[in-house]
Amino acid sequence: MTLPERLHMCLSLQYLTADRNHLWYVPRHLCQLPSLNELSMAGNRLAFLPLDLGRSRELQYVYVDNNIHLKGLPSYLYNKVIGCSGCGSPIQVSEVKLLSFSSGQLTVFLPAEVKSIGTETDHVLPLQELAMRTLYNTYYRFLKDLNFLTPISLPKSLLELLHCPLGHCHRCSQPMFTIVYPKLFPLRETPMAGLHQGRTTVSFVAYCCSTQCLQTFDLLS
């Protein structure tokens, strides 16, 4: 049902295969593994993938075939080797309540940690998101030490988010903690369409940090 909580501490891990199980999510901490080169989670119950999956240059192979509820691939995976046959079924996810984002006839589910979805008309960030970004920039960029913040100073859940953000903007790499601005790029409209023609109905999803990044991001440029 789930992967071991301390798996992200296996810093030398290069290949991870967890095919044909009952996993419904990939822990976002796995995106921090510095040596992971190949991830295979085919035949599970995935409905979404971590925002940062594929951000690591080391990760080159991702196989998520036959996850019928999976409809969105992070745009970081665009230049990777991807297996996604059998994904994108119109069947609704009933096991968990997830936020979803639609564009035209396309709908993708977002990671469970996402609290809200921004649009091109949302020019002001929520207060909590602004506070988290300020804390991160202050303690990580300048002091290089998030351990300075104790659980007494901040709730445990928010402290964990500071150490491992929800994701990083696919346009400018700004850390994101509660809100994302998604933009869909149907796979059928990319050069990869020929590799998966007729076998999948998924889209690449660019997760941005603001309306400005949302408007200027272009997967194909």
Each residue of 42-64: pLDDT tens digit? 999 999 999 999 999 999 999 99
Statement: residue 4 has pLDDT above 70: yes
What does the domain layout of the chain look like in residue ranges? Answer: 5-113+180-205
Statement: residue 121 has pLDDT above 60: yes
Does the domain at 5-113+180-205 match CATH 3.30.450? Answer given as no
Partnered with residue 62 across adjacent β-strands are 39, 82
Q: Identify the sign of the CA torsion 156, 159, 163, 168.
A: positive
Q: Report CA-CA distances (Å) from 51 to 7, 28, 30, 143, 173.
A: 18, 8, 11, 26, 11
pLDDT higher at 180 or 194: 180
Q: Which residue bears the tokens 């997967």?
A: 219
Tokens representing 82 are 């991807």
In the 8-state DSSP scheme, what is residue 142? Answer: I
User: β-strand 38-40 against 15-17: which pairing, if any?
Assistant: parallel
| Average pLDDT of span 114-135 | 91
Statement: residue 101 has pLDDT above 80: yes
- Of 73, 74, 116, 82, nearest to 98 (Cα)? 116
Q: Which residue bears the tokens 């119950």?
A: 45
If pLDDT is split at 50, 70 and 90, which confidence band does 206 have?
very high
Cα gap 13→33, rounded to integer Å:
7
**pTM for this model (two decimals):** 0.87
Statement: residue 191 has pLDDT above 90: no
